[in-house]
Amino acid sequence: MYGFSKFYKYPLPLLLLSLWLVAVFLLSERPAHSQHPVISNKEKYQSTLLAKRIMPSTLTENVRKTVLENGLTVLTKEVHTAPVVTVQVWYKVGSRNEEPGVNGIAHQLEHMMFKGTRNRPIQFGRLFSALGSDSNAFTSYDQTAYYGTVERNKLKALLVLEADRMRNSQIEPEQLASEKRVVISELQGYENSPEYRLNRAVMQAVFPNHAYGLPVGGTKADVEKFEVEQVEKYYRNFYSPDNAVLVIVGDFQTANTLETIKEVFGKLPRQEAGGRGQGSRGSRGAEEQRSRGESLYSSSPIVLREPGVGRLLQVVYPLPDANQPDVPALDVMDYILTEGRNSRLYQALVESGLASEVTASVTSLRESGWYEVLVTAGAKQDLKKIESMLSSAIANVAEKGMTSEEVERAKTQLTADVILSNRDITSQAMRLGTDETTVGDYRYTDRYLAAVRLVKPADVVAVINKYLTKEARTVGFFEPTQKRITEVPDKPDLTQTTENFSPGAPVLFSEVMKYLPPVDLATDAIAQVLPDEFKFTNGLRILLLPDRSTPTVTLSGHIQAGTEFDPDNQAGLAAFVADNLLNGTNSKDVLTIAKVLAERGASLDFQSYREGVHIEGDSLAEDLPILLEILADVVKNSNFPVKELELHRQQTLTDLQQELDEPSEVARRVFVQSIYPKKHPLHTFPTEESLQQIQRQDVIDFKAKHYRPDTTVLALVGDFDLDKVRSLIKNKFGDWEVSGQAPTLKYPPVAMPEKIVSVNPVLPDKAQAVTYMGYTGINRYDPRFQAALVLNQILGGDTLSSRLGAEVRDRQGLSYGIYSSFQAGKNAGTFLIEMQTSPEDSSKAIASTRQILQQIHQQGVTALEVETAKRTLISNYNVSLANPEELTDRILMNEVYGLDKGELHFFTDKIQKVTLDQVNQAARELLHPDKIVVVTAGPSVLAEKSIR
């Protein structure tokens, strides 16, 4: 879904798309020798080693910058590791160019850019889907960006579409009215979050005279007032080649592609002189006030007393813009304060029990920046006490300094994070686009990383003293005024409902093909490279696929120890085990483990889900032995210290309270428990009571019983030697012993509901509702699996081009996002439709959705829809294989499901062979609009409405 981006992890980082409150974390309080230490030979050696080890080449190597006569900036970078390419158009306009009264117009225009052009009066999402493009868009403070990643033979088609909507987009009154409802639905989703509401209040106080203080997505009051003329004027002013950057990264030839770009974009006119204003509200005044030392920030905390769960503390310090020389030291400071278990603020706030979580981020933008710290209070903890401890911890760092070791570790983490986040071509293009549009230099990250390597402890102390002062900060408290529900309903209300709404005719896919640019629809053959598979005598299976394209390694793993094994009275036990594996072993305590990983910028994480525990890890190539050593140690020797278990319990209880305040989580729980009866492995969810029941011995026993080599699979993709890694894994995991037979579960059959089951869990004062609809579905081994994927792509696989998206979202504007999926697991499956709506639109959206299900169930789909869906699925799959994380996960799960390793490449053949008859048969057998569970979580008004 398109959306807007707000927070940055690194200065000018990869923008995490459609993400609102993204923050990052955690590191340890250690005495420093001096605020101005002498630079030792050891420190010089560490910096030199860091430069050689992490920076074998620059991120902008092979990037070419070209400026066309009409002012369009073009950045190209050839990457020939897979036959895919990403095309991105970045406009130098965002919420920075707004003011009160028109707040959100950049975001609204971004939505309208998918509505069609004079040449192609059709929803562009359908065109992108027909191309098989992974396309989206986002709005941020300084820019608005549109991106698509496709197979290389569709490069020109994407260029034609982007050039068309750069100057020919149509903004019709009816479409604007519909899309305004969609945007308002999106904003209402953010309003559900206390974090969002607190952040909005604090940022308005931090930037009272600058557009950075306005919400990026806008406000409902302003969006409701947008007129066609306003949006059109904004479009004409800011969407022109001389205000845009075109970024292309992937498998193409630069010379030929530049000729195509000149042919497609070169004829577009630049903006007329004087047509584009500054658009940034009061920026000069704000800077002048700062330079005179006049504070723009209130000394008294901003206090929000509103409905919600959990106390929140937010502290924001103003910072300079991205081009200022202090930025690298500020980012190193952030890592020292908040990244990892050894971080200063984690130690001061979380380890002490005052807080359950600390996150922070440095934001460095075109005209200013800020450092934000967000603290979730522990149970019954006072926010003023937390705020005082936070200030003391920061002051302590400024007074006593930090060790060279801390600084070098933070620099390594930061640099490795940048490298590891740029492994796929989409991310590389995002980096180039962000740098060029924010600071005007695509080489910014290279310069920034070089500056990071030079940061010393004295530099970090200096920026703390300069920027993190009590006088400069703005503090916000969120104090909940009422307690939310602590449990979800146990038994659903049964309601038979009827329909009174008829959707429009199905989308005519012949129209889509009519407006699609010419393209060779034959896809490129993907190289048939398959992983090598090994099985050790203890049953451990490993899959290895060398890939020399980047000096990194991606690890993915699976252990058959998921939440399906949770006892009824101890729901949450499997997650307790997975979450605490890194908290200590027989030879290393939690801080040592965190330190070993942090010193190399490596990551390792365990996440439990229904059918297993998923392992995620990555590192620079030469640090793979360390990553594997830590992995082997924790899965074999974790000892679950009492202190860490109790700390985790309190954090989990706080998280549970917050989850039960979120409509999406409540809807999901009630939906699943309405489908699967008690005693079914999928019915159980953690509760406060079940979490309190878990004892240390239960954790030890569960781990001993379920963490076994014969139920574990590891997959690695990256820059390594096959034989060396195989030998290394054998050395580390070969002594992992197995005893007896692995535990198994038998899933009982579950009947379909006999009629419509309607459930409305009430969450007072929420601005938006979330609906889940569905019933039991197929598992991964069902012979209808591929046909179901094609069917789902047509029904709701894409929120813009699918039947559901075209009707419920695009034509009626009832939902910001609506999707369907067949979640096919190893033992069970679920058919699910999810949507978010304004409370007043929920009933109509549900009725429309059921009508579309009925339509496809009875009438089927068309041959052209099937062919288009197959092309989309195949193209998206091929694009996904170019991302090392997705590739590693696909290799892993094929093995977990017991599929042939050739499935990695057989999958597209199987999709291609799906017929129209098979899809329509699947529609008759798998879509049941009159036997469906419908759960809508949201405001109380919903409980008074029937589904009509």
623-633 pLDDT, tens digit each:
999 999 999 99
Q: How do residues 293-349 score in pLDDT, each as one tens digit?
A: 334 445 689 999 998 889 999 999 999 999 999 999 999 999 999 999 999 999 999
Q: What is the mean pLDDT of residues 196-223?
A: 96
**pLDDT over 80 at 88, yes or no:** yes
**pLDDT over 90 at 28, yes or no:** no
- 422 Cβ contact list (under 8 Å, min separation 6): 14, 59, 428, 431, 550
Which residue did the predictor score with more confidence, 920 or 283? 920
Reading across the β-sheet that carries 244-250, which strands appear in turn?
3-4, 134-139, 144-151, 84-91, 244-250, 73-78, 63-67
810 secondary structure, DSSP code: I
- Could you give the CA distance from residue 70 to residue 239 in angstroms, rounded to a whole number? 13
For a pLDDT cut of 70, what percent of the chain falls above it?
A: 86
CB 767 within 8 A of CB 928: no
**pLDDT over 80 at 275, yes or no:** no
pLDDT for the residue numbered 300? 86
pLDDT-derived band at 23, boundaries 50, 70, 90? very low
Which residue did the predictor score with more confidence, 297 or 89? 89
54 secondary structure, DSSP code: H
Radius of gyration of the chain (CA): 27
pLDDT-derived band at 512, boundaries 50, 70, 90? confident
Q: What is the mean pLDDT of residues 709-715?
A: 97
**Structural tokens at position 577:** 């085990």
pLDDT for the residue numbered 44? 36
* Unique residue bearing structure tokens 């750069």: 166
CA 816 to chain centre: 17
Distances (CA, A) of 481 to 304, 307, 376, 765, 867: 9, 5, 16, 11, 54
Q: Across the strands, what pairs with 309?
A: none
Q: How do residues 859-872 score in pLDDT, each as one tens digit?
A: 999 998 999 899 99
pLDDT for the residue numbered 939? 84
Q: Across the strands, what pairs with 303?
A: 477
| CA atoms within 13 A of residue 440's CA, in its CB half-sphere | 5
- 498 Cβ contact list (under 8 Å, min separation 6): 948
Taking all residues of the chain, what is their mean pLDDT, rounded to a whole number?
Answer: 87
Count Cβ atoms within 10 A of the Cβ of residue 225 and give its class: 0-12 exposed, 13-18 middle, 19 or more buried: exposed
* pTM assigned to the model: 0.89
- 380 Cβ contact list (under 8 Å, min separation 6): none
Give the best-scoring range by mean pLDDT among 33-37, 721-725, 942-946: 721-725
Q: What is the mean pLDDT of residues 411-420?
A: 93
- 901 Cβ contact list (under 8 Å, min separation 6): 530, 531, 533, 543, 891, 894, 895
- Start-to-end CA span in the chain (Å): 27
SS3 of residue 564 by DSSP:
helix
pLDDT for the residue numbered 287? 44
Which residue did the predictor score with more confidence, 766 or 593? 593
pLDDT-derived band at 799, boundaries 50, 70, 90? confident
User: Helices marked H in 77-227 — which ranges?
Assistant: 105-112, 124-131, 155-167, 173-191, 194-206, 220-225
pLDDT for the residue numbered 503? 45
- The b-or-e profile of 522-561 (16+ CB within 10 A means b, else e) is ebeebeeeebeebebeeebbbbbbbbebbbbbbbbbbbbb
Q: State the helix-helix crossing angle for 884-896 and 863-880, rounded to 10 degrees.
A: 110
Q: 759: part of which helix (H) or strand (E)?
A: strand 757-759
Q: What is the mean pLDDT of residues 227-241?
A: 96
Nearest to 487 by CA among 651, 666, 692, 652: 666
**pLDDT over 80 at 71, yes or no:** yes
Sign of CA dihedral 247, 252, 253, 255: negative
Q: Across the strands, what pairs with 314?
A: 374, 476
Q: What is the mean pLDDT of residues 215-226?
A: 96
- Could you give the CA distance from residue 918 to residue 898 in angstroms, rounded to a whole number? 24
What count of other Cβ atoms lies within 10 Å of the Cβ of residue 827?
Answer: 16
**pLDDT over 50 at 1, yes or no:** no
Q: What is the mean pLDDT of residues 604-608?
A: 97
Report the range of poorest mean pLDDT among 412-421, 703-712, 911-920.
412-421
For a pLDDT cut of 90, what percent of the chain falls above it?
A: 78
**pLDDT over 80 at 209, yes or no:** yes
pLDDT for the residue numbered 34? 30
**Structural tokens at position 17:** 């798309």
pLDDT for the residue numbered 800? 82
Reading across the β-sheet that carries 24-25, which strands appear in turn?
24-25, 355-364, 369-377, 312-319, 474-480, 302-306
CB 365 within 8 A of CB 322: yes
pLDDT-derived band at 19, boundaries 50, 70, 90? very low
- Could you give the CA distance from residue 262 to residue 255 in angstroms, rounded to a whole number? 11
- Could you give the CA distance from residue 133 to residue 872 in angstroms, rounded to a whole number? 7
pLDDT for the residue numbered 870? 94
